[in-house]
Amino acid sequence: MKNTVIFDLDGTLLDTLTDLAASVNYALDTMGYPLRTKSEICSFVGNGVRLLVSRAVPENTSREDADKTFGIFSEYYAKHMNDTTRPYAGLCEVLAELKKRGYKTAVVSNKYDVAVKHLCKDFFGANVDIAVGESEKIKRKPSPDGVYAVLKELNSQKEQAVYVGDADTDFNTAKNAEVDFVGVSWGFRPRDLLISLGAKKVADTPRELLEILTEM
């Protein structure tokens, strides 16, 4: 029986795309680069914000200018990460019900650690036991580092845990950490992609997600 549920953040618990897109385009505009559509930016998300910005800048942009763009993005996003970001409808209730039923809950994200902790505290409070993002000590997903750190902190075993996410990065994180995976179809990547990777369980609604988790 599972007793530990670890969630991805962007595209799984939180709809962060509008704020990410606005911040990327602010940085691009400041640098005099062409802006990106929200759809383009969505396709760039999933491997950390530095890679997000690297994918958004024009091809053949120098490393120096890419780093400068990232700095502008980071400063702007730190002030505007909550402008429109909200939990997907029904997810706060899922977290609350999991805690009510005695589950340990956590978030492991490729967003930088300070932002992950800030967003989880603001939106989920005590319904998330621990939140971990990318840092000098934690490599970004699909490295299993974040999952391992959470399992150690929560005193949980791999076989007791499940990782919930919306993207190929999340599927591979679960695979690398040797924990079960449950996909969600409302995020940044299509359901068919998760199925093609080998995901055996994909939830289409938060209610269905809760049912899957509590049956595992």
Strand partners, 106: 6, 130
User: Which residue from 131, 108, 12, 112 is spatially nearest to 53, judged by alpha carbons?
Assistant: 112
Q: What are phi and psi of 36, to 5 degrees?
A: -110, 150
Q: Which residues contact 180 (CB under 8 A, 6 or more apart)?
A: 2, 161, 162, 163, 174, 216
First to last CA, the chain: 6
**Residue 8 annotated in active site:** yes
> Of 8, 166, 168, 170, which is the active-site residue?
8
Query: How many of the other CB atoms lie within 10 Å of CB of 204?
Result: 12
User: Which residues are known to be catalytic?
Assistant: 8
